[in-house]
Amino acid sequence: MEKNFRYVKRQTMEARKLNVAIVGGGISGLAAAAALLRKGVSVQVFERADTLGEVGAGIHMTPNSLRPLYAMGMEKALKSAGGDVSGKSEYCHMDGTVVSPILTHDSALNQTYGMHRADLLSILADQLPEGTVVTGHQCVGFEQTDEEATLHFANGQTANADLVIAADGIHSVLREFITEPTQPVHSGSVAFRGLMPLDRLDSWRDKAFLVWMGQRRHFMAFPVRGNTMLNYVAFVPTTEETAESWSAHGDPVALAAEFKGWDPRVEHLLSRVESCFWWGLYDREPLPSWTKGRLGLLGDAAHPMLPHLGQGANQGIEDGVALACFLAGKDRREAPQALRAYEEFRRERTAIVQLESRQNGRRYDSEYQDIRQRDEEIANSAKFRRWLYDYDVELEALEAARRA
């Protein structure tokens, strides 16, 4: 029997809250749900998978996203699950010679962390009341009127809401209801990733974020899971437009061969790899629009970016916090205008980060005629990272919402 989710039925006789449906139960979607609930907005998250879970391995959590998550009460859990990178975090040439320190804190000395994606997702899910997330709901259609939006799912069910937020990634099914379809841009690289228990690396004692840069390839590593595991990612060139898969198995022998002759720390780590995974790297050009009526985009659905600044998840979290600030206290009639204000507020910053992520990949892959210019840009990159990390999205969004 077809089931229709109508949030109003779950509410009391008090003034009805704005209700929002989020499509996508990943990091950005759950962060947005937590932020919206904190601002008094009713939320339901629809996830296509039968259970919540994050594929992939580690991400770099930075103060611009940690700050609002701490304010929501997640500080203790995040610090416990995080990997300490407060040691000698450095950019290096392929042979290990140091180019520059890596900035791992903001101006107030709030630290960055290495974090396993699954740990972060679990922490976010723990913030949500039971029943907030509905799994097994693959969105296949959308329609809207002046009064409400309706989602259609592959299982025959529907859901009505005042607003729908698409947090369903780079291949968003809802984006086509806002803007003309565009193709993802392939980066020319493929990334191999994996996790290594630190007790298997007897020579690895660095509590640090380390990046090695070589010709058309680079390698990075940082601790996760309370410093018990090392997350590594190896970026190598490819002429094929590979699938954007997180779970395709890689060849450890072939991977090690790509970095033969590099810093002994890199060779030692890769000699211990028994299994790894790869994914193709894509982003998109900044979209002409993120919103249309009662539908809006968030995270990778709005601004997919390459991982070379470690900002994909961090910017998605910023989006969710900003969205909550603009929707706080709004009713059904005001919601579309508030959604447009959210888009206007977020577009410039995310476009800058998208494009800088591309450029940083070129730096890491040494795509310079004069490598000294690259090294100088790397040494000066702390200025840009400080701009990223010092940003207080909630403070800025609340002020912008007041002006709007």
Rounded to the nearest integer, the mean pLDDT of the chain is 91
Closest CA to 184 of 202, 169, 167, 204: 169
CB 153 within 8 Å of CB 139: yes
CA within 13 Å, CB half, 169: 13
SS3 169: coil
pLDDT tens profile 284-318: 888 999 999 999 999 999 999 999 999 999 999 99
CA 176, 178, 182, 183 torsion-angle sign:
negative
Task: Check pLDDT > 80 for residue 373.
Answer: yes
Residue 99 sits at φ, ψ, to 5 deg, of -95, -45
pLDDT value at residue 202: 77
β-pairing verdict for 158-161 and 4-6: parallel
pLDDT tens profile 42-69: 999 999 998 887 666 799 999 999 999 9
DSSP string, 220-247: EEEEETTTTEEEEEEEEE-SS-----SS
Q: Which residue has the higher pLDDT, 10 or 323?
A: 323
pLDDT value at residue 186: 79
In order of their start, the domains of the chain are: 4-83+116-183+285-359+392-403 (3.50.50.60)
Q: What is the enclosing helix (H) or strand (E) of 345?
A: helix 335-364
CB atoms within 10 A of CB 72: 16
Residue 217 sits at φ, ψ, to 5 deg, of -155, 155
Total-model pTM:
0.93
pLDDT value at residue 56: 64
CB 252 within 8 Å of CB 277: no
β-pairing verdict for 217-224 and 139-144: unpaired
pLDDT value at residue 240: 66
pLDDT tens profile 100-145: 999 999 999 999 999 999 999 999 999 999 999 999 999 999 999 9
CA distance 217 to 274: 21
